[in-house]
Structure 1
Amino acid sequence: MTTSDFVHSLPALWLAVLATFCLAGAALAAALIRTGKSRQPPVTPDTTPDTVRTLLREFEKNGHSADAALVKWSPDTLRKILATELPDAQVIVVSNREPYIHNLKEDEVELVVPASGLVSALEPITRACAGTWVAYGGGSADHLTVDENDRVAVPPDDPSYMLRRVWLSDEEHAGYYLGFANEGLWPLCHIAFTRPNFRAADWETYQSVNRKFANAVVAEARNERPIVLVQDYHFALLPRMLREQLPDAIIITFWHIPWPNSEVFSICPWRERILDGLLGSSIIGFHTQFHCNNFIESVDRFLETRIEREDAAISYQGRTSLVHAYPISIEWPPAQLGKVPAVQQCRDRVRTRLGLAEGVKLCVGVERLDYTKGIVDRFRALDELFNRHPEWIGKVTVLQIAAPSRGTLPDYERLHRECERCAEEINQRYGYEGYTPVLFIAEHHTQRQVYEIYRAADVCMVTSLHDGMNLVAKEFVAARDDEQGVLILSMFAGASKELLEALIVNPFDAATMGEALQHALAMSSDEQRDRMRRMREIVRDNNVYRWAGSMLLDAARLRKRAEVELPGAGNPIETNNVVSLPERWRAMT
């Protein structure tokens, strides 16, 4: 029997069913293509079947329709979610770094907007939500610009939300931030082969500072049911502290850096306390499913919990926390893009400023001066390029912008010296009068300056040894509205799971990375355009509003289920207590 005979033999009802499935499949395929899912690599630890459930959740969120994947995410989308799904909800963001810093400069107050990935992601969200941002006030003039309640309305030119500053002494900042957070948790969570240092005094300070921030959040809460977005490894204990004072709050904790496997995490002397603190959250978010899996394995190893792995739900001390992947992104279109000149003008200005000769390709790296970023490794890749392809000597310059960071810590001082030494060795070996292969600039740059550099570059190198996401990669793509330029991207950055048209490299393999650099420098304009166009579609569709909107929608579903599951209960959030865990959470996902 032929296919045609078989089809004609089917009853009309079955034909209708078959047509429905075909249409559904076509809609799903279109959504997958639009979101870039169809181009994901074969199943790896980062692309488990959970990504299918994540996509299905997206469909369900938009009225049980596959159109959710096609939503145009914008500030208006977020405002609509808040108005319709979370009416009267107060959004409070908590982070160590503040979005606006006031410093004294020659007896005048200077406003500084830090070039921070976290700030660039969260600031447009807080603006859209008209929320409150609680952060450490570290600027030398911060105390001069706040009211009697330590608040200041921001952005200064068009205030749309409130910044609440928390004050820390030098001792508190040293113990909590430099000590426990950045000499302990930071190297613990990054595979960069730097030994973490854990000191009891730092731990005590970390606890007290987390308590200080908890008290500030409670003071800012207008009612007992705010939505609190806790940001990053500086505040692992904060969710539990907030839960004790605001039991009805929706607490969403996002961990911006990788989460290590349970064996590595066991190094931390206070591992159980860290996990207990995070499980005070309603939702715990990571950039990738792989990091979610590592967190769940750590919980399973060190705490007595009940875990529903299929639905990524952890029941602990009578409450349930969801553990989901929410890949962070940037604002689209970037606000900075309207403040910089056209691409050719940017190229002319940057090249003139750097003294580049005609025909010299410009390869850039932009990040904090940190041992996880692979700065020395990209210098070694340039050395490999020159060794294997000496015809490029004199025809390519690497501009490395490295904003000073945590410079008082010994590991960062050593890194600075190593970067300078490596750059100088390459310059002495291959440079000559009128040509400098490596320009190493350890200075802070404004976001506008950074975007100008992105637009001037022929190649952008993001060679992180380990990274949660890395927004430099996405910023570079967003800056290139001319659809030119090549992105070299580390396989150990979360962004490599999305930006598949980048040249994906292993930063620990200098020789292969040198070959990737040769490919990038020689790439045709047409190939650049094809790759950049697809990456820009991904960044546009999966922008920061989608990141925040996904978390807020999950928060809304938590709240609604809490309100309807046990009508008449005195404490709505107590409906998170698990009676029938598989059915309840399977229905939610």
Structure 2
Amino acid sequence: MSDYGIEVLWILILASLGLSAVAVVFSVFQRRHSHTPAVAYAAGEDVASEAARKVLREFEKNGHSADAALITWSPDTLRKILADDLPETQVIVVSNREPYIHNIKDDSVELLVPASGLVSALEPITRACAGTWIAYGGGTADRLTVDKNDRIEVPPGNPSYALRRVWLTEEEYQGYYLGFANEGLWPLCHIAFTRPIFRASDWEAYEAVNRKFADTVVAEARNERPIVLVQDYHFALLPRMIRERLPEAIVITFWHIPWPNSEVYSICPWRERILEGLLGSSIIGFHTQFHANNFAESVDRFLESRIERADAAISYGGQTTLVHAYPISIEWPAELLAKLPDVDECRARLRERFGLKEDVKLCVGVERLDYTKGILDRFRALEELFTRHPEWVGKLVLLQIAAPSRGTLPAYRQLHDECRRYVEELNQRYGSEDYSPVLMVDKHHPQEQVYEFYRAADICMVTSLHDGMNLVAKEFVAARDDEQGVLLLSTFAGASRELLEALIVNPYDTAMTSEALLQALTMTPEEQRERMRPMREMVRDNNVYRWAGSMLLDAARLRKRGDLDRVTGNGERPSNNNVIPMFERARKAVS
């Protein structure tokens, strides 16, 4: 049978399981034509391929509309997936950081929405799914605002999901979060030349906290079959713990930071335990295929397992885990942009606030104060530009927004001090009474204010030394409805795989970065528009709902396969992760 015939057979098999038209079509041709094993569900460049058109025509012959594939991803899309493919399924999100924090301030309770890429990505998903979000309650007024079951309905004023807070002792927080997660796993996974620190006491706290969160997931589950979305490196052991107690749950773990190569990963004293914990997942997601491949290589090196590379699956301990790339994104900020002033007004406000002259070009950097973000490298590039092109002294200002982060850890305190010293030196060397080339603001800003910075800027610099994705790059692009501004983006950020029209730089190469900065400063409005327009289309179409929807559709397939196996399995009750790839079944059936 021809490859096209196999595609049609694949369609019929999936359709027999009741999947939505969109999922069926794109499960077929994306596996055949994409560069990654992850399933893509929205129409993109593949739709233009002849194979995709054949599949769509075949679908139309069977009474389905090809327009279903040209889908706009939104909260309604997620709700439809849940209603059609995962009816009555409870969605539970687990993360360290909570989406809403309550603090005591001046004898009253103040609400804080943390500046977090993870929170900004997950919060609209949880709202759309009407799920339950489990997180560490660290606010000084968090205990005062929950009910007797440690829950609070959020968002305030328009509740749509439940936030369940987990309480940690100071010792647990120090060992699990500041210790093992952020002095151990964080530097291990980021190539930023900061040595990981591993302590047995931190590992014990990490294991205990993961167990505490597993207990909470089980307590919050309404039945044995929830979908649990486990977030990030804080919970590497959690998937296995959930699987032991809820064997019919679908556990999707998303690793928001890079995964190192197996040689670097071998440094970790508990490397096997971490891999075993993660392989309790039904699906493990990474931002890029490169990081997914690194994970598979680590498993292959340290565990007795079977790696099905063609199907992006790992079999271990009688269970199969899918390992896919799901590039995360943002919610397209249409409502936020509608509330903001136009670009000219944002620029005027910022210039007045910081005393900037009209002829000064503004470059912004926005991130947590973290050694992986390349902030010092950004300052070096600016200094290099002034050295090579002194005519820009007095005509360019870098506004660095550096939100404080993990300030009790020595590496972060040292970074803060180094940044402050460097800024003082640059301003002393190149500044004057009415001009400072670098403005460093080390405090948190609300989202609306951050978007004003984006809209006012001529250039946004994202110079990460290593980053899973980096949503600042996508936020900047989304903010620029004037189709102006230049994004200068590190090749070591996952976003560089998608935002191809940005000026891609190696932040370790100071000369290269300074030349890219010069190119950005002298770029014509026409070229800015030509670069910005396709990036905006990409971010708008590949939004956070597509990211979540792709994982939920994969979860729906796993659940339907598991249910089918129960019907045909002669009374046996296999795990819903014990998956034989359907595409391989189709090939065997026609061979």
Taking structure 1 as the reference length, the TM-score comes to 0.89
Q: Distance in 2 between matches of 1:498 and 1:418?
A: 32
| Contact 1:401-1:442 at 8 Å conserved across structures | yes
The correspondence of residues 535-574 of structure 1 with structure 2, limited to 5 A, is: 535-567=535-567, 574=575
Q: Distance in 1 between matches of 2:514 and 2:372?
A: 19
Kept in 1, the 8 Å contact 2:565–2:574? The answer is no
Alpha-carbon distance between aligned partners in 1 of 2:159 and 2:186, rounded to the nearest angstrom: 34
Q: Give the CA RMSD over aligned residues.
A: 2.4
SS in structure 2 at match of 1:460: strand
2:440 is equivalent to residue 440 of structure 1: yes
Give 1:71 deviation, angstroms: 1.4
Distance 1:57 1:442 in 2: 40
Letter of the 1:574 counterpart:
S
Paired with 1:336 and 1:418, the residues of 2 have a C-alpha distance of 35
Paired AA for residue 584 in structure 2: E
Instruction: Provide the C-alpha distance between the structure 2 equivalents of 1:113 and 1:460, rounded to a whole number of angstroms.
Output: 24
Q: Which amino acid aligns with 2:266?
A: S
CA contact (8 A) 2:137 2:165 kept: yes
CA drift of 1:307 comes to 1.1
Deviation at 1:54, TM superposition (A): 3.9
3-state SS in 1 of match to 2:323: strand
Which segment drifts farther, 325-334 or 78-87? 325-334
Whole-Å Cα distance in 1 between the matches of residues 126 and 587 of structure 2?
Answer: 31
What's the CA shift string for 1:328-362, capped at 9, x where partnerless?
Answer: 00001354323322211111111110110121011
In 1, the alpha carbon distance for the partners of 2:258 and 2:398 equals 28
CA–CA distance in structure 1, aligned partners of residues 152 and 495 of structure 2: 34
Q: Quick check: 1:225–1:249 contact (8 Å CA) kept in 2?
A: yes
The residue type paired with residue 472 of structure 1 is V
Runs of 4+ in structure 1 over 6 Å off = 56-66, 579-582
Decide whether the 8 Å contact of 1:382 with 1:514 is kept in 2: yes
Q: Which amino acid aligns with 1:576?
A: N
The amino acid that maps onto 1:313 is: A
| Structure 1 counterpart of 2:129, one-letter code | C
Query: Partner amino acid for 1:112?
Result: L
Q: Distance in 1 between matches of 2:574 and 2:346?
A: 53
* Identity over aligned pairs, percent: 74
Task: Write the distance in 1 (CA, Å) between the matches of 2:587 and 2:558.
Answer: 13
Rounded Cα–Cα distance in structure 2 between residues aligned with 1:268 and 1:493? 24
Distance 1:584 1:179 in 2: 46
CA positional deviation for 1:176: 0.3
Q: Distance in 2 between matches of 1:123 and 1:481?
A: 24
Match of residue 348 from structure 1: 348
Is 1:576 matched with 2:577? Answer: yes
Moved more, 520-529 or 52-61: 52-61
1:571/1:473 Cα in 2 relative to 1: closer, same or farther (>3 Å)? Answer: farther
AA at the equivalent of 1:558: L
Which AA in structure 1 matches 2:440? F
Specify the code of the residue in structure 2 equivalent to 1:211.
R
Q: What secondary structure does 2:540 align onto?
A: helix
Residue 293 in structure 1 maps to residue 293 in structure 2: yes
Q: Deviations over 1:306-332 (max 9, x none)?
A: 111101111111110000000000001
Answer yes or no: is the 8 Å Cα contact 1:93–1:133 preserved in 2: yes
Q: 1:470–1:568: structure 2 CA closer, same or farther, 3 Å change rule?
A: same
With the length of structure 2 as denominator, give the TM-score of the two structures: 0.88
Q: Measure the CA separation in 2 of the matches of 1:582 and 1:301.
A: 27
> Which residue number corresponds to residue 423 of structure 2?
423
Aligned to 2:95: 95
Unaligned runs of 5+ in 2: 9-21, 44-51, 61-65
Match of 2:35 among 51, 76, 87: 51
Structure 1 contact 313–323 (Cα < 8 Å) conserved: yes
> Letter of the aligned partner of 2:424 in structure 1?
E
- The alpha-carbon deviation at position 425 of structure 1 amounts to 0.9
Which residues of 2 match residues 510-529 of structure 1 at below 5 A? 510-529=510-529
451 and 78 in structure 1: CA distance in 2 versus 1, 3 angstrom threshold: same
2:74 maps to 74
Using the TM superposition, give the Cα deviation of residue 567 of structure 1 relative to its aligned residue in structure 2, in angstroms.
0.8
Q: Distance in 1 between matches of 2:36 and 2:436?
A: 49
Q: Which moved more, 1:330-339 or 1:198-207?
A: 330-339
1:277 Cα shift? 0.2
For residues 163 and 429 of structure 2, the distance between their equivalents in structure 1, rounded to whole angstroms, comes to 50
Aligned equivalent of 1:166: 166
AA matched with 2:206:
Y
Between 558-567 and 543-552, report the one with greater CA deviation. 558-567
Task: State the match for 2:534 in structure 1.
Answer: 534
User: Please, which runs of 5 or more residues in structure 1 have no aligned partner?
Assistant: 1-16, 21-30, 36-46
- The count of corresponding residues between Structure 1 and Structure 2 is 545
Tell me the residue number matched to 1:143: 143
Local SS of the residue matching 1:51: coil
- Asked if 2 retains the 8 angstrom alpha-carbon contact of 1:566 and 1:575, the reply is no
Which residue in the other structure is 1:40 paired with?
A: none
Classify 1:58/1:315 alpha carbon distance in 2 versus 1 (closer, same or farther; 3 Å).
farther
3-state SS of paired residue (1:158): coil
Offset of residue 529 of structure 1: 1.1
The answer for the alignment partner of 1:25 in structure 2 is none
Relative to 1, partners in 2 of residues 1:586 and 1:403: Cα closer, same or farther, differing over 3 Å? farther
Query: Is contact 2:562-2:578 (8 Å) kept?
Result: no
1:27-38 alignment to 2 at 5 Å? Answer: none
In the alignment, the residues of structure 1 paired with residue 321 and residue 382 of structure 2 have an alpha-carbon distance, to the nearest angstrom, of 46
- Paired residue type of 2:412: Y
1:478 alignment counterpart:
478
Quote the residue 1:230 is aligned against: 230
Deviates more, 1:433-442 or 1:47-56: 47-56
Q: Using the TM superposition, give the Cα deviation of residue 439 of structure 1 relative to its aligned residue in structure 2, in angstroms.
A: 0.4
> 3-state DSSP class of the match of 1:184?
helix
Residue 107 of structure 1 pairs with residue 100 of structure 2:
no
User: Where does residue 302 of structure 2 map in the other structure?
Assistant: 302
Superposition map of 1:120-131 within 5 A: 120-131=120-131
Counting only pairs closer than 5 Å after superposition, residues 305-344 of structure 1 correspond to structure 2 as 305-344=305-344
Q: Counterparts of 1:326-475 in structure 2 under 5 Å?
A: 326-475=326-475
